[in-house]
Amino acid sequence: MLTRVRKSWELPETRATDEHVYRNRRTLLKGMGAGSIMAAGGMLGARRALAAEVAGDLYPAERNDAYTVDRALTDPELVQTYNNFYEFGSHKQIAQAAQALVLQPWQVRIDGMVEQEMTLDAEELIRKMPLEERVYRHRCVEAWSITLPWTGFPLAALVAMARPSSGAKYLRMETFENAEVAPGQRQFWYPWPYVEGLTMAEATSELAFIGTGMYGKPMPRQNGAPLRLVVPWKYGFKSIKSLVRLTFTDERPVSFWEEIAGAEYGFWANVNPEVPHPRWSQATERLLGSDERVPTRIFNGYGEQVAHLYADLQGEKLYI
C-alpha cells in the first residue's frame, strides 16, 4: 500500500469519470509490486466467478452527471479488497469470507411507523426503484478515502414508497444477522446486528442513496450486497451494508459503533477536518492506493447539499 501515485485530486473533473484513470493506477501499482493489497487482489479472478447477480441485467445504469467529483476514481480492485465489514472479521481482508453471503433470496422488511408494513425481496425492491449511477467520495473515520461510481437509487424514493406517518422522525437500518455465514458475528462482545440511523430530513435529502452496485456492476458481497446505504457527507461507518430491515420510528436509534464507543462514534458523524477524533486528527485523509495525504473538507465537500440540515442543531455533537 505504500505506493506513490500522482496527485489524482488535481485531475480535472472530467477525468474523474474515466476508467483509464484507475486502469493507469492499477498498471502502476502492479509495476511497483504493491504488497498485500495486490496479493489480496489476486483473489479477484476466483471471486468474479461468484459475482453478485441480483438484477444483473440492470447494469450499468445511466450516470447522473449532477454527481461527479474532482478526484480520480479509485482502482476497483482496491475498493473490493480493502473493506470494513466486521461481520466477516475485524480486519480489512474480508473479501473472500464475504462470498459466503447468500443473496437470493434476500428479504428486506420495511416496518414501524408506515402506512403498511411490508417484506420485499431485494431483487423486487431494486426493480421498483429508479436506478442511476453517481460518483461520490467516501471518507472513512480511520482517515482513508475512496472515490467511486455507485449504482443505486435515492433513499427518498424508498421512503416515498414506504409512506411513513408524520410522527416518524428517524429511519433505523439493520444488517443481516447470521453467525453461520458471518463468523465475525460469533464475536459476542459486539452488539449485533449492525445498526445505523438517520433523521427523516437526512434520509430524504438529495445525497442519501441506497447502493446496489459499483463500477457499473451489481454490488460485490464484501461491499454490502445486495443493498447498502451511501451517505457521502458522513464518516463511512454510517453507510451500513447488506440491509435487511428499515424501521421508521420516533426514537433516535443507537447505532452499532455508538453503543460500543459513543464518545468516539456518535449518531451524527458528519465529516469535519476541524473536529478531531478523540485519538487522531481528521484534518487530512489518505487516498486508498497512495501514501499521499490530502486535506479533508467539511461535510466531505458536500456542504452545499447538506449543511442546511444542521442549521438548527448547534447543541448537538454533529461531527463525532
Binding site for ligand MTE (CB under 6 A): 83-87, 140, 175, 194, 223-224, 236-237, 239-242
Q: Is the Cβ of residue 91 or residue 163 nearer to ligand MTE in the bound state?
A: 91
Nearer to ligand MTE among residue 123 and residue 196 (C-beta): 196
Angle value at C-alpha 270, between 264 and 275, nearest 5 degrees: 60
Range list of H helices, the chain = 19-31, 35-41, 44-48, 76-79, 122-128, 155-162, 200-203, 256-261, 303-306
Q: How far is the CB of 295 from ligand MTE (least distance, A)?
A: 19
Q: How far is the CB of 194 from ligand MTE (least distance, A)?
A: 4
Compute CA distances 137 → 106, 145, 271, whole Å.
28, 7, 12
Compute the least distance from the CB of residue 242 to ligand MTE, in Å. Answer: 6
Closest contact distance (angstroms) between CB of 85 and ligand MTE is 5
Task: Judge whether 64 and 132 are in contact, CB under 8 Å.
Answer: yes
> Between residues 87 and 133, which has the closer beta carbon with respect to ligand MTE?
87
If the CB atoms of residues 154 and 211 are measured against ligand MTE, the closer one turns out to be 211
DSSP 8-state code for residue 291: S
Which triple of cell numbers denotes residue 263? 464518545
Peptide bond into 60 cis (omega under 30): yes
Closer by beta carbon to ligand MTE, 113 or else 133:
133
Task: Output 38 or 140, the one with its CB closest to ligand MTE.
Answer: 140
- Kindly report the CA angle at 131 between 71 and 63, in degrees rounded to 5? 35
Closest-approach residue to ligand MTE (CB): 236
Smallest distance, ligand MTE to C-beta of residue 12, A: 25
Q: Which of 209, 228, 223, 215 is nearest to 130 (CA)?
A: 209
Minimum distance between the CB of residue 270 and ligand MTE, rounded to whole angstroms? 15
Min dist CB 195 to ligand MTE, Å, is 9
Work out the number of other CB atoms within 10 angstroms of the CB of residue 107. Answer: 13
Burial class (CB in 10 A: 0-12, 13-18, 19+), 115: exposed
Q: Which residues pair with 108 in a beta bridge?
A: 120
Which residue number, 147 or 175, has a Cβ lying nearer to ligand MTE?
175
Query: What is the residue type of 91?
Result: H
